[in-house]
Amino acid sequence: MKFIQYGAGNIGRSLIAQLFSRAGYEVVFIDVDDNIINALNQEKRYLIQVKDEKPEDIWVENVRGVNGKDKEAVINEITTADIMATAVGANALKYIYEIVAEGIKKRKNPLNIIICENLRHMSQIFKDNLIKYLPEEFPINERIGFVETTIGKMVPIMPEEVKKRDPLLVWAEAYNTLYVSRDGFIGDIPKIDGIVARTNFNAYVDQKLFIHNLGHAITAYIGFLIEPENIYIWNAITNDIVRGIVEAAMWESAHALISEYPTEFDEPSQQKYIDDLINRFGNAHLGDTVFRVGRDIRRKLGYDERLIGSARMDMKNKITPRFTALGIASAFMFNAVDEKGKMFDDDAKFIEELKQNGLDYMLKNACGLDTNINDQKELIILIKHAYGLIEAWDSNIAHHIRWQ
């Protein structure tokens, strides 16, 4: 059995490929990173180091690599694969649709594609873009399964000196579950330990994005605001003020999700989910950074994304997103740097655009909010109020936790 992992980054290596390798599949990575592909073909295996209270070394065997720039080789692999996953990053998907379509056109059997990208409605987005490169009469619904996922595993950026020694080594937390949409598959769902299929999957996509991703991002943004010299997420979440704001924002989403999906969620299940996340955010062994978690501000402030999307869902369900608005406002002030002292390129452009055009412009053009829509007008007022509070902040931000 052959499994294709399109994208040999940290999530692809630490979670998805690991699960399929352990189940006995040959794992074929497709990536454009020459160093990683060459190393995979030389070593035929790689190491995952679990960074947790109970550290563990996991060797992932029976792997090889194909260079994504070799179009013919990629098409041949897709033609003969049993199942495939993508984890290339939402912004890079546009580069793979055409070549995936070429491989699919040459196949005799259906193919399930497990889409491991952090976007809502990812299966529909993938389908709408893939179909552009397929014949009009192609029976896409019978031949391709578009399987949405929620990726909960947290993986830090590997330090440059570590990558130089071993480009395949990846650090990760112990959490090792991949949730997939049962309804996305064509035919039987492969029985893989660690892969859990669920129905009503939109509920779990929203829970992951609007509680997990929301809380993680706000930990970075509020943590940076309070202690800009702090590097690590675990350190940020141990600050009582940061934790209080993060938990309050997560609960705004949690209550909205209970209203939105009453058959899936209740307060005890949401409490368990939030408690587990706060505990995992505080994993000092992982060494995850404020920079990594907070970077790519424009995307994370997108209309359907973890911050604005959460707040919009709250408003829809008659919940006032005060603490989410505070997290959104703090995102506009985020300018953390990496280990080389450099901002994420797009974030530097974002901050410059904010300076040039002001908050109202960014709320409209970056966040997609419209003052002519009542709920969105109220949200804009909340965000601007929070932004003003932060701008007026002198020596501490403690009073914001009591902002009711």
pLDDT tens digit string along 312-369? Answer: 999 999 999 999 999 999 999 999 999 899 999 999 999 999 999 999 999 999 999 9
pTM to 2 decimals?
0.90
Cα–Cα distance for residue pair 213/277, rounded to 1 Å: 10
What pLDDT, on the 0 to 100 scale, is given for residue 90?
Answer: 86
For residue 132, give Cα distances in angstroms to 97, 135, 157: 9, 8, 34
Number of residues assigned to the chain: 404
SS3 189: coil
Task: Please give the CATH architecture assigned to the domain spanning 2-199.
Answer: 3-Layer(aba) Sandwich (3.40)
Cα–Cα distance for residue pair 269/284, rounded to 1 Å: 25
What pLDDT, on the 0 to 100 scale, is given for residue 362?
Answer: 98
Per-domain residue ranges for the chain?
Answer: 2-199, 202-402
Q: Encoding tokens for residue 400?
A: 């914001």
Task: Please give the CATH architecture assigned to the domain spanning 202-402.
Answer: Orthogonal Bundle (1.10)
Amino acid 38 reads N
| Mean pLDDT of all residues belonging to the chain | 95
Give 75's pLDDT tier (boundaries 50, 70, 90).
very high
Q: Encoding tokens for residue 173?
A: 């937390």
SS3 177: coil
